[in-house]
Every structure is written in structure tokens, then in C-alpha cells.
């Protein structure tokens, strides 16, 4: 088929247009050598922010959209903070409105940030390395250039890829404390972002300088609603204190020095969780709030992340928790945590405690109840939790063990060795051997009721060295006398302290003597 002259002309025009656009896309960045303004941009940004600035290269792209590119950006910490960078980014692209360029104005339509690293630091006075409100820019400088302005204002869209972020406080000595929050491989899509409002800069002085179309810098105070932005966020991991959430998805809202993560959905040590997290950076000590519901959590894996807690318990945990507190300027920034919750652990073990070891031994001697299996195992353990004043306390703990059930209450210190202070009552079945049951009741202070023997106990010591002890009740003196007899000792019956960590040895000796009698 022969193409008509009109169609041929249209094809030629289209080809020329495509070539022209392609040529412009190549030629304009070459003709407009943006990088020659880099020293001026660095100088002006340093003056505006009060922070040292490094820029590897400035560039301009026109296809598929016009964008100013900042490569290898580094903004250092302000005076009064340790040496280092508050912000580092491999590349930042500011997509601009082409129409506004003809009026000598640069309006950002979208900001794309690639591979940034943000290190948030707060000093002992409550000042952050990201704020440091700049001094007001001289209004005569912009007027003298006769140029248009680059107003930062509210950015319609911000995209962040592969962000690594951390937050820490400076100690009273001026040294950097441990990071209490870390985010890895974070990506976010935000809308209507007002960086000036988020940084909390006063309206009279909140000005940021950016290179404009006429090689000068102009400044604008923030405007818009109270919100500083909103959108969605995904992260490979978010670590709060010692615990980490992975495969995180959430909604995010920004306000003045505040971040709220709503509808968190994440994996948690082989389990799953949902919840909310908020940070408030205002004030001398940042405030945080966490609420979460968890299910299917591997307790052993979770405890591996907590110092001095590895190997203390196994099982699968479900529950809910609400926590809040202020970050302190100390080596333990989350020491002021407080909160409450409810948890239940199924099919687990407490290897270092062996709560029912002595009781199972009693059951074997007297032929009572279930007396086989691992003495440290349990089918279910549930407790209410209250965190305050540096300890975890519980008003009701229920353990369904291997032949032994227990109810208790008490507390554990969160600092130091983790001091334990628990007390409770363990229960064994006592079916037929009335004489043996009565003997056990008399010797150990147990009570017999409804086919069960109830033994009061205490759990003290530390996480690494727990001490489980049966209380000896009203028959303490008789028990002490029997202990002395079995051990080959003599003395008054009342010479014992009224409590023993292992009455099992005394009872075993007593039963052996009974078997030898004619």
C-alpha cells in the first residue's frame, strides 16, 4: 500500500518532534551547567541551616520530567553535637513545575530521595540536630538579584527509598548514648509534606534556601494545615529498644515534631502483630507510645534479643500490651517505660526455674497425681503484666504444668540482675493414700481439700540464679528435726529457720527408713 503525501508529512513531523525532544533532553543539561552553582548553593544552605553541607554534584534532567538533581548530599550535625552527619543521601531529585520556570519560579511537584541515612540526635537540653532554626535571611539579598523565588512550602509528593534511620540521645557527658529506635530498608510515599512545620521552626524564622532558576536563593515561611504530611510506609525492620519488628507496613502521619504510625502490621519473632506507634520529639525528653496485639510469637527467639533473658523460657505467646514513656539521657534510655498488658504462653518450658521439680518428687514418693515428664515444662502460663518503677509485676499468674498447677503473684526487676520476688500456691492431686497425704500435709504446711494438696512456695533470686522454695508452714519445727535426723545431725527440733529450699531430701530419707522397718 502506498502511503499518502499527507500521512508521509505527518510521520516526518512526528519523527522530527521526537528527535527534537530527544536532542533537547541531551543538549539542555549540557548547555545549562547547573553544577557551576554548587559552591554558591552549599554556602547559602549552610548559612540558612547552620549546618555544614557537602554536595558531590548538581545536575539537571529534562526527560521524562524536569528535575534538579543533588548527588551525594551530606548535611553535618550543628554546633554542640558530635561530629557526623545528620543526613546523607545518594541522590535527591526535585521534580519541578515547567510552567512556573517561565515566571522565574521553581515549584517542587515531587521530591525523590534515594538511599538516605538519617541519624537523629537530641542533646541534654532537648535540642535536636535536625532543627537548629536558621537565622532569618536578609530580604535585601533576594531583592537585589531581581530574580524569582524558590518557595519550599508544602511539597505535593515525597518518595523515599532505602532509608536507614536511627534515634539516640546524648548523655550528660556529651557522648552519644545507645540508639533506642532504628529503621532499616524503609520506603515511604508521602503527600502534602511540610518539612519546615515538621522540624518545628518558628514561622518568623523557618526559612530554607534552595537554588532557583536565576541562580539565587529565596526563602518562604511555612503555610498550610497543622499536618506536616501523611502517607504509607514499609520497612524491612523497625527496632525499638532490644525488640525488632520485620516486614512492616503502616500508615504514617507527620505533625510538628511528631510521627504517628497507625495500623501497624508486622512480623514478630515467627509470629504476627498489629498495633500503633507514636513519637513526640518536643520537650527535653522525647515521649513514645506503643500498643500491640501479638500472636504465635516464639518466646525463645524473642528472649534471645534481651540481655540476661536468653534461654529462660520457651513456648508460643499470644497477648496484648500498651507501653509509654519518656526517653532518658542515660545508658538505658527506655528505663522509664510503663504500661500494662495480658499474655499467655502455650506448651513451654522454664529450664532454670523447674517450678514443679520438688512437687513432682513428692508425688513420686507418695504415689500422688501425675508424676512423670519434664519438671520444667508447662502446657499453659498466663499473667497480667504491669510495668512501672523499673519492674514488671503481676497480680495473677496461672501455670498449668506437667502434673502440677500453680497460682501466684509477684514482680521482677528490669535492671541489674533481674531480682525475682514471687509467691504462690502449687496444687497436686491426692487420690487414695490418706496416710501419706496427711504426712505430707503435716511436714510441708500443705492443705488438703477437694482431692488436692496445695503447697505454698516462693520464687526468689535472680533470672540467672532463681531460687524455688516450699514454705514449711506450721510444721516447720518437725520438718527441721527430720532433716537433721536424715542428715545425721542432732539438736533441738526448733533449730531450723522455718523454711527450706529442698524438703524433698528429708522426705526421701523418711520413706527409706520406713521401708527398712520390720
Section 498-514 average pLDDT: 42
- Distance, in Å, from the CA atom of 308 to the CA atom of 483, rounded to the nearest integer, reads 35
Look at residues 183, 241, 214 and name the one whose alpha carbon lies nearest to residue 101: 214
- Distance, in Å, from the CA atom of 297 to the CA atom of 309, rounded to the nearest integer, reads 16
The C-alpha cell that represents 156 in the structure block: 505535593
Q: What percent of the chain has pLDDT over 70?
A: 65
How far CA 392 is from CA of 130, 143, 303, in Å, comes to 35, 63, 15
Length of the chain: 518
Q: What share of the chain is helix, strand, coil (3-state, %, to 5)?
A: 20, 45, 35
The C-alpha cell that represents 354 in the structure block: 523447674
pLDDT value of position 130: 84
- Distance, in Å, from the CA atom of 489 to the CA atom of 306, rounded to the nearest integer, reads 45
Section 438-442 average pLDDT: 55
Question: Highest mean pLDDT: which of 9-23, 385-399, 435-449?
Answer: 385-399
pLDDT value of position 207: 35
Residue 486's pLDDT band (boundaries 50, 70, 90)?
Answer: very low
Section 302-313 average pLDDT: 87
**Whether pLDDT at 138 is above 90:** no
Section 36-42 average pLDDT: 81
Continuous segment of H or E residues that includes residue 294: strand 287-298
Strands 229-240 and 243-255: antiparallel
Section 153-180 average pLDDT: 90
What are the residue ranges spanned by the domains of the chain?
A: 33-280, 353-376+402-516
Q: Using an 8 Å Cβ cutoff, are 262 and 253 in contact? A: yes
Find the Cα–Cα–Cα–Cα dihedral 187, 193, 199, 204, rounded to 10°.
160
Strands 452-461 and 466-471: antiparallel
Q: Using an 8 Å Cβ cutoff, are 195 and 347 in contact? A: no
Look at residues 356, 352, 369 and name the one whose alpha carbon lies nearest to residue 504: 356
**Whether pLDDT at 278 is above 70:** yes
List beta partners, residue 342.
320, 384
**Whether pLDDT at 132 is above 90:** no
- Per DSSP, the three-state class of 131 is coil
**Whether pLDDT at 133 is above 60:** no
Section 312-338 average pLDDT: 91
Find the Cα–Cα–Cα–Cα dihedral 45, 49, 53, 58, rounded to 10°.
-30
Rounded to two decimals, what is the model's pTM? 0.74
Q: Using an 8 Å Cβ cutoff, are 285 and 316 in contact? A: no
pLDDT value of position 164: 96
DSSP string for 445-477: T-EEETTEEEEEEEEEEBSSSEEEEEE-GGGHH
Strands 67-76 and 210-211: unpaired
Q: What is the pLDDT of residues 344-401, one digit of tens each?
A: 999 998 877 655 555 555 555 445 444 455 667 889 999 999 999 889 999 999 998 7
pLDDT value of position 362: 54
Q: Using an 8 Å Cβ cutoff, are 248 and 238 in contact? A: yes
Amino acid at each position: 500500500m502506498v502511503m499518502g503525501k499527507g500521512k508521509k508529512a505527518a510521520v516526518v513531523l512526528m519523527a522530527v518532534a521526537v528527535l527534537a525532544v530527544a536532542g533537547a533532553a541531551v543538549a539542555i543539561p549540557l548547555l545549562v551547567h547547573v553544577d557551576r552553582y554548587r559552591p554558591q548553593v552549599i554556602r547559602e544552605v549552610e548559612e540558612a541551616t547552620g549546618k555544614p553541607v557537602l554536595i558531590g554534584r548538581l545536575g539537571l534532567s529534562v526527560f521524562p520530567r524536569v528535575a534538579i538533581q543533588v548527588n551525594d548530599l551530606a548535611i553535618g550535625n550543628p554546633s554542640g553535637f558530635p561530629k557526623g552527619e545528620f543526613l546523607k543521601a545518594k541522590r535527591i531529585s526535585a521534580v519541578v513545575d515547567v510552567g512556573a520556570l517561565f515566571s522565574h519560579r521553581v515549584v517542587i511537584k515531587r521530591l525523590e530521595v534515594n538511599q538516605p541515612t538519617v541519624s537523629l540526635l537530641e542533646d541534654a537540653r532537648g535540642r535536636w540536630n535536625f532543627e537548629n532554626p536558621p537565622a532569618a535571611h536578609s530580604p535585601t539579598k533576594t531583592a537585589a538579584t531581581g530574580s524569582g523565588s524558590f518557595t519550599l512550602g508544602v511539597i505535593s509528593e515525597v518518595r523515599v527509598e532505602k532509608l536507614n534511620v536511627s534515634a539516640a540521645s546524648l548523655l550528660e557527658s556529651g557522648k552519644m548514648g545507645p540508639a533506642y529506635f532504628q529503621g532499616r530498608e524503609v520506603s515511604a510515599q508521602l503527600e502534602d509534606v511540610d518539612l519546615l512545620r515538621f522540624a518545628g521552626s518558628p514561622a518568623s524564622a523557618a526559612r530554607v534556601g534552595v537554588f532557583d532558576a536565576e541562580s539565587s536563593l529565596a526563602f518562604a515561611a511555612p503555610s498550610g494545615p497543622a499536618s506536616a504530611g501523611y502517607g504509607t510506609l514499609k520497612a524491612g525492620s523497625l527496632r525499638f529498644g532490644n525488640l525488632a519488628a520485620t516486614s512492616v507496613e503502616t500508615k504514617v502521619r507527620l505533625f510538628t515534631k511528631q510521627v504517628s504510625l497507625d495500623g501497624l502490621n508486622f512480623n514478630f519473632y515467627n509470629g504476627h502483630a498489629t498495633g500503633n506507634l507514636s513519637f513526640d520529639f518536643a520537650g527535653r525528653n522525647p515521649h513514645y507510645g506503643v500498643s500491640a496485639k501479638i500472636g504465635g510469637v516464639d518466646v525463645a527467639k524473642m528472649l534471645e534479643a534481651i540481655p540476661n533473658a536468653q534461654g529462660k523460657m520457651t513456648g508460643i505467646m499470644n497477648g496484648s500490651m500498651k507501653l509509654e514513656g519518656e526517653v532518658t539521657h542515660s545508658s538505658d534510655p527506655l528505663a522509664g517505660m510503663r504500661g500494662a498488658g495480658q499474655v499467655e504462653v502455650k506448651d513451654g518450658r522454664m529450664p532454670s526455674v523447674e517450678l514443679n521439680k520438688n512437687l513432682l518428687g513428692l508425688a513420686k514418693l507418695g504415689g500422688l497425681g501425675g508424676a512423670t515428664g519434664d519438671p520444667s515444662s508447662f502446657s499453659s502460663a498466663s499473667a497480667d503484666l504491669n510495668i512501672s518503677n523499673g519492674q514488671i509485676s503481676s497480680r495473677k499468674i496461672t501455670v498449668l504444668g506437667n502434673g502440677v498447677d500453680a497460682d501466684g503473684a509477684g514482680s521482677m526487676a528490669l535492671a541489674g540482675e533481674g531480682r525475682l520476688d514471687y509467691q504462690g500456691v502449687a496444687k497436686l492431686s491426692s487420690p487414695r493414700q490418706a496416710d501419706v497425704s496427711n504426712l505430707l500435709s503435716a511436714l510441708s504446711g500443705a492443705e488438703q481439700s477437694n482431692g488436692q494438696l496445695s503447697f505454698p512456695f516462693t520464687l526468689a533470686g535472680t533470672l540467672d540464679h532463681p531460687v524455688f522454695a516450699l514454705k514449711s508452714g506450721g510444721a516447720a519445727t518437725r520438718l527441721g528435726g527430720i532433716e537433721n535426723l536424715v542428715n545425721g545431725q542432732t539438736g533441738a527440733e526448733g533449730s531450723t529457720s522455718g523454711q527450706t529450699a529442698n524438703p524433698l531430701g528429708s522426705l526421701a530419707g523418711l520413706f527409706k527408713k520406713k521401708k527398712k522397718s520390720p
